[in-house]
Amino acid sequence: MYRFTFSFLSLLLPFQLLAGQFDSVKELLIRRVPWLEQHVVFKPLKNTGQDIFELSSLNGKILISASGPNAAAVGLNWYLKEYCHRSMSHMGDNLSPVSPLPAVKAKVRITATAKYRYALNYCTYNYTMSFYNWEDWERELDWMALNGVNMMLSVAGMEAVWQNTLRKIGYQENEIQDFITGPAYTAWWLMGNIEGWGGPMPQSQINNRVVIQQKMLKRMKALGIEPVMQGFYGMVPSTLKDKSKAHIIDQKTWGAFKRPDILSPNDPEFARIAGIYYSEMRKLYGKDIRFFAGDPFHEGGETAGIDLKQAGAAIQAAMQKFYPLSTWVLQGWQDNPKEQMLEGLDKSKVIVQELFGEFTNNWESRKAFSSSPFIWCVVNNFGERPGMYGKLQRFSDEVTRIKSSNFSRYWQGVGIMPEGINNNPPVYDLMLELGWRQEHVKTADWITRYASYRYGVHDENINAAWQGFLETIYQSLPGYQEGAPESIFCARPALKIKSVSSWGTMLRSYDVKKFEQAAATFAKPAPEFMQIPTYRIDLINVSRQILANRGDSVFKQVIAAYDRKDLDAFDKYSKQFVRMIDLTDELLNADTLFQLNTYLKQALRLGDSPQEKANNLNNALMLITYWGKNIRAEDNLHEYAYKEWSGLMNAFYLQRWQMYFNFLREELESKPTQAPDFFAWERQWVANNQQLQPERTSRPLNEIVNEIFGF
């Protein structure tokens, strides 16, 4: 016995001595699955230039051998999913202890097919992450590492870089405040669309965001995640042209917003200000940044008077001067990056993200973006609008097609670029897993595995339901669509409604009845599985989707009754419509994930002063309702980021519909009346509701679900 113990310890000792590089993964394990702490051993693999992990069992331990911490985290996640049927997601965790621990009977070796597994859109930083504290970011980075993300946009603390830069070129504090946006609008500021809106940002908040970013960078480095920071591409305050003789191109407007201007990269002043910017970046965030983002002329802008080829070369040269060997990461969105700009770049220091891959195939039509290294990405979600959606089989098919195409040598990886990430967990799981799969993934098989680790159980009803979901809400029909079909409940009331948000759709391209049958099948085992958090969350979400779908047909009945001036029918169907909104609110109140107060508490928690708390709340409520600007002629962003949340359904959308139905009823009754001014009402609602909603006790979920399904 002594010899055996000594021999076993001797065998493990080299692993332990060499495994210091895996300390960050061990800490992740302790945070998320502490019941595995004494049962997992990490061992380094010889560096071959590829990300690799191996799983095996050794003397009662689970041995994870890996080429580095990122691969080790993926190995841990692989063991959790494939053997323990456990998982972590943005919509609930299934991470309860498993005993006895499953053994790995035959060694598993997985090599990443994608060099880069990228995550995050600028917009994610606001539609999801505006009010993240360190605990939120710690969880986010754990999820990223477990899913193999090794390159992530990291722009949480850019305000201080800009503040310090502008001070050095002669800006006063009030002028800087007029440039930097509020905490819920930084994405569009950094992309060069807006300036100042939602501000000013208090100095304490700017300072706190620096601390958060520094913590993030340290943790990301430990987990093998490369940060993509914000580069200088010529964006300057629109007031700089009044202070400088440099060649500054007025960028006009983005909708109702005055855009920041562009300092011509061909002007000598560009190099000077870029030098200040990167020097301030180095002081705050270090000298070892390898990737920078920044997209001139994002969603428009003026290019007249700029030699785009020379401009691109100048932007890249400034990066290289202060961060040698760094890479410029460009968004492939609309006509960006422009062909002429790509001509001036050193392609060995460029990566283009095909951003909207679920619809576009620019990697092919633009010949790998003029022979540039590229990452194939999907957006899937716009504005973090609710709705179950994702072209799952297309993801797999397109990645396979790229790898077997003439442009495969330019393909660098896969990425998720959602505008909001608290939705549709199978989309993100599958996309990132494709970075590790050699074979062509058939989603009909994959979805059964997903259901198993999502809920930790094997159930025929659940499996059948997910096959039905794959054939409906997660089908892969061709055609343009910006995110999930929208809910009529959240539309600004009118007689004719084509979409809730300006670029969204209310068209259900799938068989609604088939989806409802799959949903009913999913709900069958509810009495048995209601205590499984992920099942409960998905049951709420599926039921919410059913109500949203049914709302379309009921609204048609309301309008038909109004058109034929049938007051009794109008009252019947409008009351039914109102009841469906009320029932949706009850349903969503059953879990904090779907409650407005959860979001508002996040905004309040992040404020260190009354001023911060008040501005956070104002930013939070503006973003999810009318979005911004008080110009009626430019009101196309309202409902862009609408949410089906308890506390919003009853207090905002329901009230708005009741106002409208009262107006229509008075018309039918030939009473003097005036149409509601929703533009003004929405802004007043935000001003009047900057506090937590009253807490309410939820009706038992099973009662609500039974009412919806008619069980």
H or E segment at 118?
Answer: strand 116-119
Mean pLDDT of 508-532: 97
CA 566 vs CA 105, 571, 572, 658: distances in Å: 70, 9, 10, 18
What CATH code is assigned to 2-111? 3.30.379.10
Distances (CA, A) of 17 to 43, 44, 85: 9, 10, 31
Q: Sort strands 40-44 and 108-111 into parallel, antiparallel or unpaired.
A: unpaired
Angle (CA) 511-514-519 rounded to 5° is 125
> pLDDT digits over 676-694, tens only?
999 999 999 999 999 999 9
State how far the Cα of 564 lies from the Cα of 570, in Å rounded to an integer: 9
Identical fold, 2-111 and 116-440: no
Is the CB of residue 285 less than 8 Å from the CB of residue 214? yes
d(CA 278, CA 289): 11
Q: How confident is the model at residue 47 (pLDDT cuts 50, 70, 90)?
A: confident
The Cα 596–Cα 643 span in angstroms is 9
User: What 3-state DSSP class applies to 602?
Assistant: helix
* Mean pLDDT, residues 230-237 taken together: 98
Instruction: Report the C-alpha gap between 65 and 43 in whole angstroms.
Output: 4
Candidate from 5-14, 100-109, 165-174 with smallest mean pLDDT:
5-14
Q: Three-state SS string across 139-159, please?
A: HHHHHHHHCCCCEEECCCCHH
Dump the DSSP string for 273-328: HHHHHHHHHHHHH-S---EEE--TTTTS---TT--HHHHHHHHHHHHHHHSTT-EE
Whole-angstrom distance, CA of residue 441 vs CA of residue 596: 37
Q: For position 112, what pLDDT does the model report?
A: 98
The contacts of residue 22 (CB under 8 Å, 6+ apart) are 42, 44, 66, 69, 72
Predicted confidence band of residue 333 (pLDDT cuts 50, 70, 90): very high
pLDDT tens per residue across span 570-601: 999 999 999 999 999 999 999 999 999 999 99
CATH class belonging to 488-709: mainly alpha
Question: Rounded distance, CA 514 to CA 103, Å?
Answer: 39
Query: Are 195 and 259 within 8 A, CB to CB?
Result: yes
pLDDT for residue 9: 42
Q: Cα–chain-centroid distance for residue 330?
A: 18
What was the pLDDT predicted at 479? 87
Contact 286, 163 (CB under 8 A): no
pLDDT band at 711 (very low <50, low <70, confident <90, very high): confident
Q: What's the token pair of residue 115?
A: 């060099």
* Residue 265: strand pairing partners: none
Per-residue confidence band for 379, with pLDDT thresholds at 50, 70 and 90: very high
The residue type of 697 is: T
| Mean pLDDT of the residues in the chain | 96
Pick from 167, 323, 330, 325: which is nearest to 233 by CA?
330
Q: Is the pLDDT of residue 2 over 90?
A: no
Determine how β-strand 61-66 pairs with β-strand 52-58. antiparallel
3-class DSSP assignment, residue 580: helix
Question: Nearest to residue 273, comparing CAs of 164, 188, 172?
Answer: 164
Cβ atoms 416, 118 nearer than 8 A: yes
- Domain limits of the chain? 2-111, 116-440, 488-709
Task: Supply the pTM of this predicted model.
Answer: 0.96
> What CATH code is assigned to 116-440?
3.20.20.80
Residue where the block lists tokens 């405040």: 177
- The tokens of 82 are what? 């494939």
Predicted confidence (pLDDT) per residue in 187-229, tens digit: 999 999 999 999 999 999 999 999 999 999 999 999 999 999 9
**Measured between alpha carbons, how far is residue 509 from residues 24, 424, 549, 636 in Å?**
45, 18, 12, 24
Q: What is the mean pLDDT of residues 390-396?
A: 98
Helices (H) and strands (E) in the chain, counts: 27, 17
The Cα-based distances of 666 to 293, 662, 670, 681 in angstroms read 55, 6, 6, 19
- Bridge partners for 263 per DSSP: 248
* Model confidence at 350: pLDDT above 60: yes
In sequence order, the 6+-apart residues with CB closer than 8 A to the CB of 115 are 412, 413
- Residue 619 parent element (H or E): helix 610-624
Whether 95 shows a pLDDT value over 70: the answer reads: yes
For the stretch 130-178, pLDDT in tens is 999 999 999 999 999 999 999 999 999 999 999 999 999 999 999 999 9
Q: What pLDDT, on the 0 to 100 scale, is given for residue 11?
A: 46
Q: What are phi and psi of 501, to 5 degrees?
A: -100, 160
Cβ atoms of 140 and 134 within 8 Å: the answer is no
Residue 14 pLDDT more than 50?
no
Q: What is the strand order of the sheet 61-66 is part of? A: 40-44, 61-66, 52-58, 108-111
Per DSSP, what are the bridge partners of residue 117? Answer: 414
Inter-residue contact 422 to 127 (CB < 8 Å): no
Are 303 and 297 within 8 A, CB to CB?
A: yes
Token pair recorded at residue 213 = 């970013």
Q: What is the pLDDT of residues 458-507, one digit of tens each?
A: 999 999 999 999 999 999 998 899 999 999 999 999 999 999 999 999 99
CB 75 within 8 A of CB 55: yes
Angle at 658 between CA 657 and CA 663, to 5 degrees: 95
Its sign, for the CA torsion 189, 417, 547, 535, is: negative
Q: Which amino acid is at 13?
A: L
First to last CA, the chain: 61
Ramachandran region, residue 325 (left: φ > 0; alpha: ψ -120 to 50; beta: rest): left
Residue 1 pLDDT greater than 60, yes or no:
no
pLDDT digits (tens, 9 = 90+) for 611-646: 999 999 999 999 999 999 999 999 999 999 999 999
